[in-house]
Structure 1
Amino acid sequence: MAFDGREPIYLQIADQIRTDVVSGALGEEEQVMSTTQYATAYRINPATAAKAFAELVDEGTLYKRRGVGMFVAPGARDRLVAERRERFFADVVDPVAAEASVLGIPLDDVVARLRAAGATGEGDR
């Protein structure tokens, strides 16, 4: 993992863990690296990793088992998928529908194009 984005490193860590949960790379009840392990592996300040973990605990993605470590919370994947799905529609689909309307493109044409792109695996035709 390389930290090269404009966002603070702790947000990049939190986003990567969320992505790992959504993708299934981290399963429910699975232990995640400790803040010390993150700090050592990625050569960052342990407080930075701790801040990321605190955010994930606050939102219910991770939980702490006293004396054992951090674990993926039950239901975390379903919640994150639902949030990302809603964000996808708001950030991607709604603007596409609005632009199609402005350009006079029938939504059926947009749907047909999406189906064709999905069938061929080519989203940038």
Structure 2
Amino acid sequence: MEVVVDFSSQTPIYLQIAEDIRQRIIAGTLRGGDQVMSTTQYATTYRINPATANKGLTMLVEEGLLEKRRGIGMFIADDAHERLTSVRRAEYRDAILSPAISSGLLLGLTPDQLIDLVTQLVKDLP
């Protein structure tokens, strides 16, 4: 799976690089111990400033998702998947699920009706 950098996007490139790696960790295509491209590889592949690529990778190091191995490169942390899914689940609960449940309750749906709706939606997914 190749990184997708959209130069027409309003999102800065370094954020796109970081988010792409996060998504690949969540999807399981990058696992603990896997090596990621170097800043030089990002720079030459996408014709971007190495500092831009480094900024995205540094964010992931600060989040504990990547580990620097001096002279070798950057690697996915062993607990990156668990760490990231934990954060994303909390974000999902707070930003998406909680407001949706509140809206349903305001519409007069009971908790049991909400559970039934969610169960049906899950069954209908491909």
- The TM-score normalised by the length of structure 2 is 0.91
Unaligned runs of 5+ in 1: none
How far, CA to CA, are the matches of 1:59 and 1:87 in structure 2? Answer: 15
Aligned length, in residue pairs: 122
Matches within 5 A, 1:1-125: 1-3=4-6, 4-121=8-125
How far, CA to CA, are the matches of 1:5 and 1:112 in structure 2? Answer: 38
How far, CA to CA, are the matches of 1:60 and 1:2 in structure 2? Answer: 23
- The TM-score normalised by the length of structure 1 is 0.91
- Alpha-carbon deviation of 1:44? 1.6
How far, CA to CA, are the matches of 2:72 and 2:44 in structure 1? Answer: 18
| Percent identity (aligned) | 43
- Alpha-carbon deviation of 1:40? 1.6
How far, CA to CA, are the matches of 1:54 and 1:91 in structure 2? Answer: 26
- Alpha-carbon deviation of 1:102? 1.4
The one-letter amino acid paired with 2:12 is P
